[in-house]
């Protein structure tokens, strides 16, 4: 028995090493990886590739570059070149807003429609996605728009309610548009049928031409409703795939909208799926169901799906888990945890940040509590070690940080601030 246990541990260690190595080709040799043009960064993985960062912060905190007032909303901050994009509400209207990233000077704002009102906080939820010429944004009421990023001029827009008879989710449309191979890919929801007062909705996934806004393909899951989870583009066993988590399933699409594979996931998923190359997917439920790691082998004639492990150690609420050097870091409700990705075993747990958010650099975790406390910690599975902390924002702070070029961007319902984390 002892020999078998040793062999098992050796296999888990080998799996972790191989997974870490396999994940690297997406980043290796990419000289432009220190960008943040969309939700959770260039690869939607919550990893910043900024270099030469301060190993710790002064007692008064890192140098504050600027601070500016914003309106309510939970939209993240995206950057492209010297411009910054986010969304918030003002004067009963939701806006997509562009700033000069250097000094927070507002350059333009585009109205998205009537302000979304909700008990946990008003305003937009989604994060803008930016390509070479255009910003793509989704309002909380389900209007997808393309806006010229230089001028703020509208190029096209699609109302999910008008086109698909969609119903706005309880917490608003929150998924962030994915730009891939000339398409804007997103979950729209829709109406299957209406019988008297009874309405049956579906989970509709759609791809629009990013230049014209024309519908290129769609896929319906009946019944269902539009969820809150954003899709991700990955290299799955050498094949380009778009992965969605719907109300219960993980679904991968090829470029033409054909379903490449699907697998049972978990209900109540809000956080993004975490891809672990070449064939694994971590999913976590906001309900009391925990998480699991799926292995989906789609290399043969038939798809083989297996649960590598499943437990209740990670329950993502509204922010996502990240994968870093063989381990998973994320908030399980109001506890920051580190799990071994190979086994699912918890390595450590730390309370005190509420239902916060976390991103990672090469060696550090940057943590924002749900009340605006900003902390720097070691990205180590051995133990949790906080290095520095400051009170960066006040009040509800549910939006995850953005780190580009050594500059950290934070926001909440009333303020947006930029800190310089670079070494002198």
User: pLDDT (tens digit, 9 = 90+) per residue, 343-380?
Assistant: 999 999 999 999 999 999 999 999 999 999 999 999 99
The neighbour count for residue 220, using CB atoms within 10 Å, is 14
Confidence label for 269 from pLDDT (cuts 50, 70 and 90) = confident
Confidence label for 268 from pLDDT (cuts 50, 70 and 90) = confident
Q: How many angstroms separate the CA atoms of 347 and 387, rounded?
A: 19
Is the pTM higher than 0.85?
yes
Are 395 and 27 spatial neighbours (Cβ–Cβ below 8 Å)? no
Q: How long is the chain? A: 424
Q: How many angstroms separate the CA atoms of 123 and 88, rounded?
A: 6
The topology (CATH level 3) of 2-420 is: Methylamine Dehydrogenase; Chain H (2.130.10)
Is the pLDDT confidence value at 22 over 70?
no
What is the token pair recorded at 272?
């993004």
Q: How many angstroms separate the CA atoms of 140 and 136, rounded?
A: 13
Residue carrying the six token digits 């239902």: 355
For the beta sheet containing 143-148, the strands, ordered from the edge strand earlier in sequence to the opposite edge, are 129-130, 134-138, 143-148, 154-159
Confidence label for 288 from pLDDT (cuts 50, 70 and 90) = confident
Q: Is 66 exposed, middle or buried (0-12, 13-18, 19+ CB in 10 A)?
A: middle
Confidence label for 32 from pLDDT (cuts 50, 70 and 90) = low
In what helix (H) or strand (E) does residue 216 lie, and over which residues does it extend?
A: strand 215-221
What is the token pair recorded at 413?
């319902």
Confidence label for 21 from pLDDT (cuts 50, 70 and 90) = very low
Is the pLDDT confidence value at 267 over 80?
yes
- 202: closest CA among 189, 215, 188? 189
Task: Specify the pLDDT at position 389.
Answer: 98
- 348: closest CA among 365, 359, 336? 336
Task: Specify the pLDDT at position 286.
Answer: 85
Q: How many angstroms separate the CA atoms of 77 and 88, rounded?
A: 11
Helix, strand or coil, per DSSP, at residue 175: coil
The mean per-residue pLDDT over the stretch 165-175 comes to: 92
Residues 6+ apart with CB under 8 A from 262: 249, 250, 251, 252
**pLDDT by residue (tens digit) across 380-410?**
999 999 999 999 999 999 999 999 999 999 9
Helices of type H across 279-346: none
Residue carrying the six token digits 């909303």: 73
What is the token pair recorded at 164?
């698909």
Residues 6+ apart with CB under 8 A from 187: 175, 203, 204, 205, 206, 226, 227, 229, 231, 244, 246
Q: How many angstroms separate the CA atoms of 415 and 393, rounded?
A: 7
Is the pLDDT confidence value at 197 over 80?
no
- The domain segmentation of the chain, as residue ranges, is 2-420
What is the token pair recorded at 292?
């699991």
């Amino acid at each position: 028995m002892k020999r078998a246990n040793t062999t098992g541990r050796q296999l888990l260690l080998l799996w972790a090493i191989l997974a870490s190595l396999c994940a690297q080709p997406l980043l290796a040799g990419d000289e432009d990886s220190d960008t943040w043009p969309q939700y959770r960064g260039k690869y939607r993985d919550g990893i910043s590739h900024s270099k030469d960062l301060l190993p710790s912060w002064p007692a008064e905190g890192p140098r504050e570059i600027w601070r500016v007032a914003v309106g309510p909303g939970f939209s993240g901050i995206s950057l492209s070149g010297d411009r910054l994009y986010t969304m918030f509400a003002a004067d009963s209207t939701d806006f997509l807003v562009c700033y000069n990233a250097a000094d927070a000077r507002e350059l333009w704002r585009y109205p998205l429609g009537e302000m979304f009102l909700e008990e946990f906080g008003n305003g937009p939820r989604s994060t803008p996605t930016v390509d070479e010429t255009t910003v793509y944004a989704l309002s909380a009421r389900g209007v997808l728009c393309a806006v010229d990023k230089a001028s703020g001029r509208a190029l096209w827009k699609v109302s999910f309610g008008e086109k698909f008879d969609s119903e706005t989710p309880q917490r608003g449309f929150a998924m962030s548009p994915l730009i891939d191979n000339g398409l804007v890919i997103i979950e729209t929801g829709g109406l299957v049928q209406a019988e008297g007062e009874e309405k049956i909705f579906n989970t509709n996934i759609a791809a629009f031409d990013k230049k014209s806004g024309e519908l290129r393909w769609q896929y319906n899951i009946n019944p269902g409703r539009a969820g809150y989870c954003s899709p991700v583009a990955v290299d799955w066993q050498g094949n380009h795939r778009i992965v969605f988590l719907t109300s219960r399933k993980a679904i991968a699409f090829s470029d033409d909208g054909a379903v490449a594979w699907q697998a049972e996931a978990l209900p109540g998923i809000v956080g993004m799926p975490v891809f672990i190359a070449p064939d694994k997917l971590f999913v976590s439920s906001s309900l009391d169901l925990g998480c699991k790691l799926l292995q989906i082998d789609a290399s043969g004639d038939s798809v083989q799906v297996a649960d590598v492990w499943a437990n209740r150690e990670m329950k993502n609420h509204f922010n996502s888990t990240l994968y870093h050097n063989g381990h998973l870091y994320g908030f399980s409700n109001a506890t920051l945890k580190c799990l071994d990705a190979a086994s699912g075993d918890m390595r450590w747990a730390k309370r005190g940040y509420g239902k916060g958010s976390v991103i990672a650099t090469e060696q550090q975790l940057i943590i924002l509590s749900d009340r605006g406390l900003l902390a720097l910690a070691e990205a180590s599975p051995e133990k949790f070690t906080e290095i520095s902390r400051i009170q960066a924002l006040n009040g509800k702070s549910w939006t995850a940080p953005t780190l580009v070029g050594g500059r950290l961007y934070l926001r909440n319902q009333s303020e947006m601030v930029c800190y310089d984390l670079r070494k002198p």
